[in-house]
A = this chain, B = another copy of it.
């Protein structure tokens, strides 16, 4: 009779922050609801007041991470620069995002739980990769229009560029085969990937 709101956004954020910590430590299976509650500084019961269950909480966590952290990539893109400079800049942001602690964490968990939560992977893909690919394709289309590239299918090429950014470093980090890579390794992946892409999609006779 007294309060005003059943679910305060601050508490929800508090819970999701705790979940982020807990999931980061042990993945989906390794993070118990007790642990999440402890990390969030709330009771276990409160978890269930805000989320229907562990699955639901996990999905909300992934969604927030995707929308909050994974989609900043295309902000501040300066398209007045050359295609190479633009792609290098974006490529580096993609790589940074993929090799970030939370980027790796979410990727691992989404892949891990794909069979159990098919809808989670879809939500993740929609919130993250799909949007990023869409923005990238638009950009490639504009560069083709301006004669800097000759890409017949920008959507497909965007996926190729994304794939190239994952060569060597991302692939290995996802499997935990290394704790981290030096900066210049990341730079090289971006540089060589973008280089291959530009040479492969260069306008005929262009340069």
Contact = CB atoms under 8 A, between A and B. Distances in A.
Interface string A112-141: 111110100110110001000000000000
Nearest to A29: B29
Interface residues of A, number: 45
Contact of A177 (B107, B108, B121, B159): B121
Given A160-B193, A167-B162, A111 B174 contact: yes
Interface stretch (A53-61, A69-77, A85-93, A196-204): A196-204
Interface string A173-204: 01111000000000010001101110111000
Given A26-B115, A111-B108, A115-B27, A124 B200 contact: no
A117 to B, nearest CB: 9
A110 B176 CA distance: 10
B192 A196 contact: no
Contacts of A166: 163, 166
Contacts of A121: 175-177
A44 interface: no
A94 to B, nearest CB: 13
Interface of A: 25-27, 29-30, 107-116, 118, 121-122, 124-125, 129, 156, 159-160, 162-164, 166-168, 171-172, 174-177, 188, 192-193, 195-197, 199-201
